[in-house]
Amino acid sequence: MTAQPVELELHNEPLPLSAPFRIAGHVFSAMPATVVTLRAGAHVGRGEAAGVYYTHDHPDTMLATLEAMRPRIEAGLDRETLRTLLPAGGARNALDAALWELESRQSGVPVWRLAGLEHVRPLLTTFTVGADDPAVMADRAAAYTQARALKLKLTGDADLDTARVRAARARCPEVWIGVDANQGYDGASLPALLPALLEARVALLEQPCVRDREHELDGIARALPFAADESILDLAELEARHHHFDVINIKLDKCGGLTEGLLMARRARELSKQVMVGNMCGTSLAAAPAFVLGQFCDVVDLDGPIFLRQDRTPSVRYTDGHIWCGDEVWGPSATA
């Protein structure tokens, strides 16, 4: 669709979590986000992004980046042009999402159809258990009564992480379990963890190594699939680092939006990789574009809105372990 002049609105939202959430090296109490709104006559497009904390991509800098581009944005641009103007990250993601919804509103066509899909389906999603004492994690895992897939956060202590995985598996004997080390291991410590993961029938190990130290995985047998999260941010890094991993976790805040995410999913398939989608714990407005990308994925981790003190209305829905995002949340039927 031809780019048209628009009116740009920007603001940040604090988005406090309902309880502190712990991963390796970090404890989060909120997930602040930048919200972009584009107005073109009667049509409105919106996007939300939290950025990426480990690249120092925060909402305050995202807001400043977009404000500095106001004249260029309001003159009108399309998504492909945007990919050349801003680097991968949260600012581009928020603006990219707003451009997708604006086009959807202007054309009356759902975003998923604009993305090349003939239909959408509910997606089986993981439900995440933050790192804590093994018994606490087991209780939290069991409390997800509808869950058919779980993701356990680990911290890099092989003995404690082993106890966490065993405790969760004992309480949830039938569910799919993946674990996320969030860069907590290195080439020397990781081998001690792997036998326990296999014993507990863990199906996926996400981000076992520190970003930029992927070479430490060389020589370690991947007895279960290794997934890249922090290690692969965008399409260029996918090309450079895919050989260390079996699964590519695409997050729109990392790669700069649904436009780039779709390119990454397609390229990952060409490289014979599985594809995963995750998000940075935003509201349903952030989950909606990721839900579209999730239609192309093997593993879906889109439980972010459940951790917030308050979500948007209307919101995504969770039923029988699946996430559903209707057009009333983001797209031609949504209310801004």
The average pLDDT across 269-285 equals 96
What per-residue confidence (pLDDT) applies to 334?
Answer: 85
Considering only CA atoms, which of 281, 334, 282, 335 is closest in space to residue 110? 334
Does residue 335 surpass a pLDDT of 90? no
Radius of gyration of the chain (CA): 19
Q: Is the C-alpha dihedral spanning 236, 239, 244, 249 positive or negative?
A: positive
Is 278 buried (19+), middle (13-18) or exposed (0-12) by CB count in 10 A? Answer: buried
User: DSSP readout, 267-306?
Assistant: HHHHTT-EEEEE--S--HHHHHHHHHHHTT-SEEE--GGG
Residue 122 has which token pair? 């509910």
Distances in Å between the Cα of 150 and the Cα atoms of 203, 265, 274, 326 are 10, 22, 18, 24
d(CA 5, CA 15): 30
In the structure, what pLDDT confidence band is assigned to residue 139 with cuts at 50, 70 and 90?
very high
d(CA 164, CA 132): 8
d(CA 278, CA 45): 22
The average pLDDT across 286-291 equals 98
Share of the chain above pLDDT 90, in %: 93
d(CA 323, CA 291): 8
In the structure, what pLDDT confidence band is assigned to residue 238 with cuts at 50, 70 and 90?
very high
In the structure, what pLDDT confidence band is assigned to residue 257 with cuts at 50, 70 and 90?
very high
For the segment 1-22, what is each residue's pLDDT rounded down to a tens digit? 557 899 999 999 999 998 888 8
d(CA 153, CA 156): 10
User: DSSP readout, 55-117?
Assistant: GTB-HHHHHHHHHHTHHHHHT---HHHHHHHS-SSHHHHHHHHHHHHHHHHHHT--HHHHTT-
Residue 282 has which token pair? 């935003």
